[in-house]
Amino acid sequence: MFYGIDYLYIVLVLPCVLFALWAQMNVKTTFAKYSKTSSGGMTGFDSARRILDANGLYSVGIARVSGELTDHYNPSDNTIYLSDNVYDKATAAAVGVAAHEAGHAVQHAVGYTPMKLRSAIIPVTQIGSNLAMPLILLGIFLSIRPLAMAGVIAFGLSTLFQLVTLPVEFDASGRALKALEANGLSGENLGSAKRVLRAAALTYVAALAVSLANLLRLFIIVAGRGNNRKNDR
């Protein structure tokens, strides 16, 4: 019921899962497409470094990381990690992705509220994710509806994390595009970088949609079990 396929899964969750799969494929194909578009000589490293220096973030490091689309900013060591296809590549895709990660570094430096909130709820979200299904299953098995609902609420914490992630990612992309334009990227090159960032943003929208659909499905199942017991009486 919870891990398999039922009517609610087909109606609520499956469309969102398909959207998420499409979003993942779309970001890969978009990145590959614009990895063939020149940035006019600016590499991913150059893009990130210029944005960092323009914001006085000289202490933020930039390092290479293996893998594809594994780029990220790590606030714990104050370092931006750029993948092989971004670090030293002078393409529109590379400068867009690198600028986005630099945007996260700027967010961290200025204390951007949604980013602080996301970081603060990570431990609670992890606990909630681990407890959600055991609480739901135990609550249903023992016929303790509040316990099962507590599991649904615990699952909702992961949905909250996805919700808070959206403004963080969209803001980072907005900062990236403004910085790239200020650094001379314009016309089709800027448009190409924008398309890459838009494709990446859709993956976060899709993740939120999947989480919301799963949350609604679990709520309906637990609430329905409670109503069925009342009707049996």
For 53-88, the pLDDT digits (tens) are: 999 999 999 999 999 999 999 999 999 999 999 999
For the chain, the residue count is 233
User: Could you tell me if residue 170 is inside a domain?
Assistant: yes
Structural domain contains residue 142: yes
What's the chain's average pLDDT? Answer: 92
- pLDDT value of position 1: 47
Q: In whole angstroms, what separates CA 81 from the centre of its chain?
A: 16
Tokens of 158: 């992961």
> Mean per-residue pLDDT for 165-177?
95
Which residue in the block uniquely carries the two structure tokens 């609902």? 149
Confidence band, pLDDT 50/70/90 cuts, at residue 187: confident
- Please tell me the least confidently modeled range out of 108-122, 171-185, 207-221: 171-185
Buried residues in 75-93 as b, exposed as e (16+ CB within 10 A)? eeeebbbbbebbbebbbbb
Distance in angstroms (rounded) separating the CA atoms of residues 59 and 119 = 21
Active site residue 68: no
35 and 93 Cβ atoms separated by less than 8 Å: yes
Q: Which of 101, 169, 181, 188 is catalytic?
A: 101
- Tell me whether residue 1 is in a domain: no
Q: Kindly state whether residue 2 falls inside one of the protein's structural domains.
A: no
Report yes or no on 188 lying in a domain. yes
Q: Is the pLDDT of residue 101 over 60?
A: yes
| Ramachandran angles phi, psi of 184, nearest 5° | 100, 0
Q: Looking at the domain assignment, is residue 51 inside a domain?
A: yes
Q: Which secondary-structure segment (H or E) carries 73?
A: strand 72-74
Nearest to 105 by CA among 38, 148, 58, 42: 58
Predicted confidence at residue 219, as pLDDT, reads 94
Burial 190-223 (b: 16+ CB within 10 A, else e): bebbbbbbebbbbbbbbbbbbbbbbbebbbebbe
The residues facing 65 across adjacent strands are 83
Structural domain count of the chain: 1
161 and 15 in contact (C-beta within 8 Å)?
Answer: no
Residue 87 lies in a domain: yes
Q: Percentage of the chain with pLDDT > 70?
A: 94
Q: Which domain holds residue 157?
A: 7-232
Per-residue pLDDT band at 226 (split at 50, 70, 90) = low
Residues linked to residue 6 through DSSP beta bridges, in sequence order: none
Question: Looking at residue 5, what is its pLDDT?
Answer: 61
220 belongs to a structural domain: yes
Does position 229 have pLDDT exceeding 90, yes or no?
no
Do residues 169 and 153 touch, judged by C-beta distance below 8 A? Answer: no
